[in-house]
Amino acid sequence: MFNNESLFALALQIKEPLYVKQIEFQQEQGELHMYIDFRTGARFRCALCGKEGLTVHDTTDNKEGHTANLPSTNELEDRKGISNETDASGYL
């Protein structure tokens, strides 16, 4: 049996070290909020150069709103890892 977090992770193909941390449905506002995080100590591949095994030294929160042809508002919040080993933006 799946809980809500693992069901959404499976449906959206979210894979380790990322995971769905929390799902909130606010029925009165018709809003679905999904929080995506990554595991402590996770290592990532640079999206720009492809270098593997980069560590995260800091994070920033990112929030995106999506309607996706649904009658409610959907909000996705995730943490972006920041590494000293990436380009000038620092984001993985």
In a domain, 71, yes or no: yes
Q: Which domain holds residue 26?
A: 4-82
**pLDDT, tens digit, for every residue of 36-57?**
888 888 888 887 888 888 888 7
**pLDDT, tens digit, for every residue of 3-37?**
888 888 888 888 888 899 888 888 888 888 888 88
Question: Into how many domains does the chain fold?
Answer: 1
Q: What local confidence, expressed as pLDDT, does residue 3 receive?
A: 86
**pLDDT, tens digit, for every residue of 54-89?**
888 777 777 665 545 444 555 666 666 666 665 545
In a domain, 87, yes or no: no
Q: What local confidence, expressed as pLDDT, does residue 8 receive?
A: 84
Give the type of residue at 72. S
Query: Is 92 in contact with 56 (CB distance < 8 Å)?
Result: yes
In a domain, 92, yes or no: no
